[in-house]
Amino acid sequence: MTIGINGYEAVVPRFGYDKEGLPNRVGSGEFAFQLLLNLYKIDRSNSYRIYVPSLALGSDPQNFQKLGLPEESGRWRYVTLVKRVGPWTITSLAKKLFSDRDKIDVFFSPTHYLPLYIPCPSVISILDVSYIKFPELFKKRDLYQLKIWGRYSIKKASKIITISESSKNDIINYYGVPSSAVVVVYPGIKEMDKKAGVNIRAKYKVDGGYILFVGTLQPRKNVAKLIEAFSEIKDKNIKLVIVGKKGWMFEEILNAPKKYGVLERVKFIDNVSDGDLPGFYADASCFVLPSLYEGFGLPVLEAMQNGCPVITSNISSLPEAGGDAALYVNPLDTSDIADKIDKVLTDENLRAEMIKKGYEQVKKFSWEKTARETLKVLESLAS
């Protein structure tokens, strides 16, 4: 069997490159990238054609390894395409799939979109439908594309993979697709390799105790509410460290420390390498993710992996990620967030219990397991 995969999300650097020259991958980019790595690792029976935009490769057409992707082989081929008119996936990829219509048996697009033309059974992955729940938090152009092409792709796909039961229920309710068409495949968590000898406090000028947030700066992450809650906690010496790239509509977040009188106690850091991130988790007093909505919430597991107690929202998929290891809050209730932070900062027995349960929770998730369950869906269609 030959499986075609849309590799766009895995190679396009939406947030630039890290210091090692690799794309800063988050969300759907990391999901697509890890699936490619692990399908290559586990599958010795099927052949693959990975379709990628030539623009992402720069001047070197064989730049795949520099992007961290697997080497080409007899069963694993990259097909590079120049962008023509319109969105690459919808138009350029569709044209190539027409010419390749006899070369693939099933097609997988680890993103919301399918090309206009698909010659075989197809699968898409929908990480979340936040654009439906919170349309005001999206740029008009992005919202239009997600709604119009998202609906088209969901109706056309043979199967839809999503990453939580919460997201599955949302897709069924909003799009009216049968439950049998939507398969939950939990994302994995990679082993975070802390760079030996790196002193994150000296490197990033972080001193004293701190509460940590990690994530893209966008309204859905509810960071402004976190900063407001932080201003109400009892410990006035501890700091709040916010690690994440600027996404969209982030001005309110950047203005919040001054608004709530904690300007000197909040530190924004926007360029942390994967190797340094474990140090931030390990040194933090706790990790707080008060999101209004998440497809899953991988930073919850990253924090647990590094022995950091987690406080997160009691809505959407976050209880699936955190299990019984996290402390949950109403993300719209400033006092609740502040009270739970105070509780974790002052109760050593609770902290120890949360850390212990966190290590157990992390064991339930791996990217290899994600790849095996995804492959099972693809093979069921080809047969």
Over the range 70-100, which residues count as b (16 or more CB within 10 Å of their CB) and which as e?
Answer: beeeeebebbbbeeeeebbbbebbbebbeeb
Instruction: Please indicate, yes or no, whether residues 85 and 161 belong to a single structural domain of this protein.
Output: yes
Domain count, the chain: 2
Checking if the pLDDT of 23 tops 60, the result is no
The pLDDT value recorded for residue 175 is: 94
Instruction: Please indicate, yes or no, whether residues 180 and 271 belong to a single structural domain of this protein.
Output: no
Instruction: Please indicate, yes or no, whether residues 177 and 318 belong to a single structural domain of this protein.
Output: no
Instruction: Please indicate, yes or no, whether residues 257 and 298 belong to a single structural domain of this protein.
Output: yes
Checking if the pLDDT of 15 tops 90, the result is no
Residues in the chain: 383
Alpha helices of 157-204 — where are they, by DSSP H? Answer: 165-175, 200-204
Bridge partners of 33, per DSSP, are: none
pLDDT digits (tens, 9 = 90+) for 231-252: 999 999 999 999 998 877 889 9
Instruction: Please indicate, yes or no, whether residues 112 and 255 belong to a single structural domain of this protein.
Output: no
Asked whether residue 193 is domain-assigned, the answer is no
Checking if the pLDDT of 323 tops 90, the result is yes
- The DSSP bridge pattern shows strands 122-126 and 182-184 to be unpaired
The pLDDT value recorded for residue 271 is: 81
What is the value of pTM for the model shown?
0.84
The pLDDT value recorded for residue 137 is: 74
The pLDDT value recorded for residue 55 is: 65
The pLDDT value recorded for residue 60 is: 58
The residue-averaged pLDDT of 130-141 equals 84
Q: What is the SS3 assignment for 289?
A: strand
Over the range 135-173, which residues count as b (16 or more CB within 10 Å of their CB) and which as e?
Answer: eebbeeeebebbeebbeebbeebbbbbbbbebbbbbbbe
Asked whether residue 227 is domain-assigned, the answer is yes
The pLDDT value recorded for residue 100 is: 95
Checking if the pLDDT of 351 tops 70, the result is yes
Number of helices and strands (H, E) in the chain? 15, 13
Angle formed at CA 114 by CA 56 and CA 215, multiple of 5 degrees? 60
Residue 151 tokens, joined:
């609906």
Asked whether residue 195 is domain-assigned, the answer is no
Instruction: Please indicate, yes or no, whether residues 130 and 204 belong to a single structural domain of this protein.
Output: no
DSSP code of 27? T
Instruction: Please indicate, yes or no, whether residues 148 and 216 belong to a single structural domain of this protein.
Output: no
Element (H, E) at 343: helix 334-346
CB 255 within 8 A of CB 282: no
Instruction: Please indicate, yes or no, whether residues 168 and 223 belong to a single structural domain of this protein.
Output: no
Q: Give residue 176's domain range.
A: 2-188+366-382
pLDDT digits (tens, 9 = 90+) for 268-281: 998 888 789 999 99
Instruction: Please indicate, yes or no, whether residues 168 and 307 belong to a single structural domain of this protein.
Output: no
Asked whether residue 54 is domain-assigned, the answer is yes
pLDDT digits (tens, 9 = 90+) for 188-221: 987 776 655 468 888 999 999 999 999 989 888 9
DSSP code of 227? H
Over the range 26-36, which residues count as b (16 or more CB within 10 Å of their CB) and which as e?
Answer: bbbbbbbbbbb
Instruction: Please indicate, yes or no, whether residues 258 and 349 belong to a single structural domain of this protein.
Output: yes
The pLDDT value recorded for residue 62 is: 61
Instruction: Please indicate, yes or no, whether residues 314 and 235 belong to a single structural domain of this protein.
Output: yes
C-beta neighbour count of 315 within 10 angstroms: 18
**Torsion sign, CA atoms 338, 343, 345, 351:** negative
- Widest CA span of the chain, in angstroms? 66
Range among 85-99, 217-231, 237-251 with highest mean pLDDT value = 217-231
Closest CA to 50 of 66, 33, 28: 33
Task: State the CATH number of the domain containing residue 308.
Answer: 3.40.50.2000
Checking if the pLDDT of 328 tops 70, the result is yes
Bridge partners of 310, per DSSP, are: 287
CA gap 103, 98 in Å, rounded:
10
The pLDDT value recorded for residue 305 is: 96
pLDDT digits (tens, 9 = 90+) for 142-180: 888 888 999 999 999 999 999 999 999 999 999 999 999
Average pLDDT, the chain: 90
Asked whether residue 48 is domain-assigned, the answer is yes
The pLDDT value recorded for residue 21 is: 54
Instruction: Please indicate, yes or no, whether residues 80 and 115 belong to a single structural domain of this protein.
Output: yes
Asked whether residue 180 is domain-assigned, the answer is yes
Residue 248 tokens, joined:
């969209």
Cβ neighbours of residue 323 closer than 8 Å, sequence gap 6 or more: 357, 361, 364
